Amino acid sequence: MDLSQFHSILFDWFKREGRILPWREKNHPKAQQKERGRTLRDQSLAAYFTNTWRRDPYRVVISELMLQQTQVERVLPKFESFLKKWPTVNDLAHAKLSEVMIEWQGLGYNRRARFLHEMAKTVVKDHKGVFPTSEQELLKLPGIGLYSARAVLAFAYGKDVGVVDTNIRRIFARLMLGCEPNDKQAQTKKFIAMIDDAVPKGKGDPWNQALMDFGALVCIGRSPKCETCVLQHICKANLDAKKRGKTSYAKLLLHQQKKIFSTITKQSFHTTDRYFRGRIVDKLREGSTHMQQLNDHLTKNHGLSDKVRFGNIIERLMKDKLITIRGSIVSLD
């Protein structure tokens, strides 16, 4: 594939359709004045392409952990509220975990809140409040995996690395390999290297932002918008689908999904352990509770009548350091 063509097409799309989000704002020198008469969109996009302006890695980490498996619409108000309460990593490091858990309500996956809190304490204790600038050191921080480490490198430090999230895996798997990212070939080191090699020099920040938006708005998981996609004429998945007699890859994917979903009986989320874990934490956000009262609450309001299962969920929450038990009292502290 002609990477220069790929870059040009995607950047042109990004300048027209890319999202303006609060965690993408950059700090810039006071002497650098914005031109009068330019729109907010133009100013923001110009900042994305400017390496002399930087983002606070603390803001990047917060947004990335909040956005993991959570919709942007749910994150937007929480991101602003969280930063208002703890504007710096030092502020968060000195907060109580229970306070962080309460603020996290509505975002789900409560372990992320604990990881974020532990990460802040580690940065303050071991790095004097300054985030590491290497992938190796970032990976040592609690809750920071390869994706989050690369997000900090690209979005906070302007490094030319691929931020390999779900959206970006999907785009490259379809575009380059003609398959879905769950296929084994899309999980190899060679595949990751291909994503890294596609990063345009000096533009790792806007490139990854553009890919993320494209995956969220166009190259969507179950229903990609192939008919209006600006990359449809160079996408291997789309071109292969047409060879098979389909009008687009989206039509082929829909046909394949109908076959798969017809054989699957999906478990209701409201009967899963993850759902009950969330309801337990939600109840404890209101305050400490006697174990029996907590059990009664789950039985009456959420249909968890199996005491053995309740005990197992409580035990796992303790192991995950999300709750503590003193005597018969359960709390977030």
The residues annotated with a catalytic role in the active site are 64
* 8 A C-beta contact, residue 289 and residue 283: yes
Q: Are strands 329-331 and 324-326 parallel, antiparallel or unpaired?
A: antiparallel
Which of 328, 325, 318 shows the shortest CA–CA distance to 114?
A: 318
Residue 245 φ/ψ region, left for φ over 0, alpha for ψ in the -120 to 50 degree band, beta for the rest? left
Q: CA 19, CA 24: separation in Å to the nearest integer? A: 9
- The size of the chain, in residues, is 333
What distance in Å separates the CA atoms of residue 2 and residue 170, rounded to the nearest whole number?
A: 19
Distance in angstroms (rounded) separating the CA atoms of residues 333 and 316? 16
- Whether the Cβ atoms of residue 148 and residue 124 lie closer than 8 Å to each other: no
For residue 321, the SS3 value is coil
Tell me the two tokens of residue 328.
Answer: 């018969």
Question: Is the alpha carbon torsion for 122, 125, 127, 130 positive or negative?
Answer: positive
Residue 162 contacts residue 196 (beta carbons within 8 Å) = yes
Q: Which residue has the tokens 């606070």?
A: 56
Closest CA to 165 of 180, 146, 152, 183: 146
- Selection from 111, 35, 122 nearest residue 277 by Cα: 111
Is residue 276 a contact partner of residue 267, using CB atoms and an 8 Å limit?
A: no
AA identity, residue 235: C
DSSP state of 175: I
